[in-house]
Structure formats: C-alpha cells, structure tokens
Homo-oligomer: A and B are copies of this chain.
Amino acid sequence: MVTDPIGRRERKRLATHHALRVAALRLGAERGIRDVTVEEIATAADVSVRTFYDHFPSKEDAIIGFDAWRVDQLRDALASRPADETPLEALRVVMGQLFRESSEEWPLRMRAISADPALIGRMFVSFITYERALVEVIAERTGLDPERDPYPALVTAVATAAFRASMTTARASGGALDPATTFDAAIARLRPAFNPTVDGSGRAPC
C-alpha cells in the first residue's frame, strides 16, 4: 500500500471541509439556504461557527462549492487542449468536466440553488472568477486583445450561459434530462456562431 503523501493534519482538515459542505448541501436542499443558519451547519458538522468561516466565506459559498484551486485547474486544462481545437470546443470539454466530477453533489446543489435565486447570483460570482482566467487563455490562443475585441469575453460568457441553461433545464425536467448531455447539445447548437476561420483562430469572419 502506497503511503498517502498528505499527513493526518491535512486529512482532518479535508474531512472537516467535506463535512461542512455536505451539511450545507443537505440542509440547503431540504429547507432552502435562507432558512438555515451558519450555526446549524456548523453544529451538523460538529465544529464551531468560527471554524465554518475558516473554511468558507459564507454559507452560500459552501453550497456553490467554489474552490480557488479549481481556477488554476480549469485554466491549465483549457491551456492544454489541442491548439487546433476551436475555443468553444475547448470550453465544452473543460466546463463539461465540472458536471462529471463530484457528480453526486449536483442534484443536491441544483435543488438548493433552484430554491433560492440569491444562490444563482453567488454561483456567478464564482463563474466570474473562472471566466476571467479562461478569457486570458482564450485571448492567448487566438491572439486577440480582450480589451479591444469582444470575442474572448463573448465566447466564454456564452459557454457559461449554456452551462447555466443546462442546469436550469435539467432541473426543470425533473431528472429526464442529464445536465452534461444537455450542455453538450447546447454547445453544438452554438457552434455555427463561432465557426473557425482559415487561420484557425476560431474567430468568425465579421
């Protein structure tokens, strides 16, 4: 058996982190996050209120599941996509992965989010952070200046829109539609708007 390189201290911290997230997701999905206090979440995870705030800046963030390290992970994943892939296609692969990892949390998360519009806003706060990193990579891939050309910001915002609409529709269908599949279909529909040009930059000829 290979010894795990992370020690007991780190393992306990991750356990606390996970317990808080699970408690927040469960309580939030059950009763709506507005009717849940931080004290209840902390008690359910058997830690103090102050410890909760050492792991998450707010109860909403515990639901959304934003982690700073994911930004780098997402940026690296996008940067390592094949250079001949269109930006929209690269975003499809990278963002679609979000639905696949920790997929068991998504039903609870979508249930909690649909119960409180404020959570959708908070979700976008994290998406904005993702987007800023992704726009950088897209700009580098296409050689466009994001301060002068709307393309990088637009294609990224549109991919995020597809992600969000997929969540909404999958949730509204009551499980009949799978969010990951719906997301792929949405991107497929949007493909004509971002047709690649001869130079392979992915920029439409306008």
Which A residues fall within an 8 A CB radius of B?
117-118, 120-125, 128-129, 146-150, 153-154, 156-158, 160-162, 164-166, 168-169, 172-174, 176-177, 182, 185-186, 188-195, 202-206
- Do B122 and A148 have beta carbons less than 8 Å apart? no
Interface of chain A: mostly helix, strand, loop or mixed: helix
**A124-B121, A165-B153 are known contacts. Are A190 and B188 too (CB-CB below 8 A)?**
no
- Do A173 and B147 have beta carbons less than 8 Å apart? yes
Report the Cα distance A176→B150, complex, angstroms: 12
A169 touches which of B150, B188, B194 (Cβ 8 Å): B150
A190 partner residues in chain B, CB cutoff 8 A? 158, 190, 193
Q: How far is the CB of A109 from chain B (nearest CB, A)?
A: 16
Nearest first, the 6 closest Cβ-Cβ pairs linking A and B are: A121-B121, A161-B161, A157-B161, A121-B125, A193-B193, A157-B165
